[in-house]
Amino acid sequence: MNGYSGMDDRYFCMAPWSHIQQNSYGEINPCCMFYGKDKVYTQKYDSLQEAFDGSENARLRQRMLNGEYIDSCKKCYRDEDLGKSSYRQRFNERYKIEDEPAIRELELALSNKCNFKCVDCNTRFSSSWYDDDILLGRTYYTDIGRTYKSNFDIDKVDLSQLRELKILGGEPFLEKKYLEVFKSIEKQNVTLFFVTNNSVFPSDEWIEQFSHFKEIRFVISLDGVYEVAEFVRYGKRFDKFERNFAKWIELSKTKLTNMKVIPHYVFHFYNSLNLNETLEWLKKYFDSDRVLSYDFLESPTEISVKILPNDIKEYIIKENKNFLQDQIKKFLYLSDYDKFYVNKLKTYNKFLNLRSEIPDQCKSLLERIKC
């Protein structure tokens, strides 16, 4: 490994030396994959720079150097066990311990403003969920209010060594403050990582700003096609999604040749039988289905596939004859059948059925649970 050979590197990560994140409800973390029992930034900071340079981050770096297992890093440990590339591995490939600590990657979600109510989401990431979270008694998500807006001040952050800027939401195209961020940085040596639900096609001002970045990794949340897509990403009109998707593909070949379009799929109970159809749909735009970026949903636990009975797990594996089948199998058996969460799934399903009819593909899986 770069500069720390001889050390047990199973848990080591360069993120605290190179990366910082502010999420859509104002929390600061070393990266977006960091969640669990270990909270790093518990103090109140005036800026992201102050948090990055502070004593709490210094303690996290020391824990990394000590080779400690860190509970909030378990997402990366799990991905590696599944044979999936992790953020931890990527940070360690890109940066060296000999380098001075500096914010080389900045991840921002300046607002939770969003026009979708995805089945795996909540108010902290989508303002549209606010009323329903209260209805469901999930007030632990509504403590930020309906809409959170960050007071992020770019002038208080040293971005002289910035290599990558990551923009998440909410839905970023609904928040114009990102344009102010773009205009304030030197873009020619920076890669932009941008995540969108593809419901809004932006103005020319956004396209102009995009054109000045060194590279753009433009991630479009997909999570299924046709009626399943409209159900799991509630608020989506798939015909509009297709039109916008085609526009981005065309732009990547013309005005934005610095951009790579990356469809992303979060695998969970409600779309676990839709992956084959989604991969077939992608053939309209790509030569290979392996362009699909993917993840396996952990939370909310009740719609994670790993809590299901074994016979249903085997059915899901059998129905997914695609390049992800082996990883799907590994993920499904990370946990045993959990009756408590399956009952929570049934309750949640009743709520979802009130807002829109459950697609037949999802119903077939629900019928198996009832049996």
Tell which residue, 301, 273, 282, 288, has the closest CA to residue 222.
Answer: 282
Q: What average pLDDT does range 293-305 have in this prediction?
A: 96
φ, ψ at 41 (rounded to 5°): -95, 85
pLDDT digits (tens, 9 = 90+) for 1-41: 444 444 458 899 999 999 999 999 989 999 999 887 788 88
By the 10 Å C-beta count (0-12 exposed, 13-18 middle, 19+ buried), 143 is classed as exposed
Tell which residue, 172, 253, 184, has the closest CA to residue 219.
Answer: 172
Rounded to whole angstroms, how far apart are CA atoms 281 and 355? Answer: 26
Rounded to whole angstroms, how far apart are CA atoms 6 and 159? Answer: 32
Q: pLDDT at position 1, please?
A: 44
Tell which residue, 259, 106, 102, has the closest CA to residue 182.
Answer: 106
Per the structure block, which two tokens stand in for 368? 């198996």
**One-letter amino acid of 121:** C
pLDDT digits (tens, 9 = 90+) for 110-157: 999 999 999 999 999 999 999 999 999 999 999 999 999 888 999 999
Q: What average pLDDT does range 161-190 have in this prediction?
A: 96
- Cβ(272)–Cβ(224) below 8 Å: no
Q: What average pLDDT does range 173-192 have in this prediction?
A: 96
Q: pLDDT at position 5, please?
A: 43
Cis peptide leading into 170, omega within 30 of 0? yes
Rounded to whole angstroms, how far apart are CA atoms 224 and 271? Answer: 6
By the 10 Å C-beta count (0-12 exposed, 13-18 middle, 19+ buried), 204 is classed as exposed
Q: Please report where in the chains the tokens 């770069």 appear, as a residue.
A: 2
pTM: 0.94
Per the structure block, which two tokens stand in for 124? 């902290």
Torsion sign (Cα): 199, 289, 82, 217: negative
Question: Average pLDDT of the chain?
Answer: 94
Whether 93 shows a pLDDT value over 90: the answer reads yes
Domains in the chain: ranges and CATH: 71-370 (3.20.20)
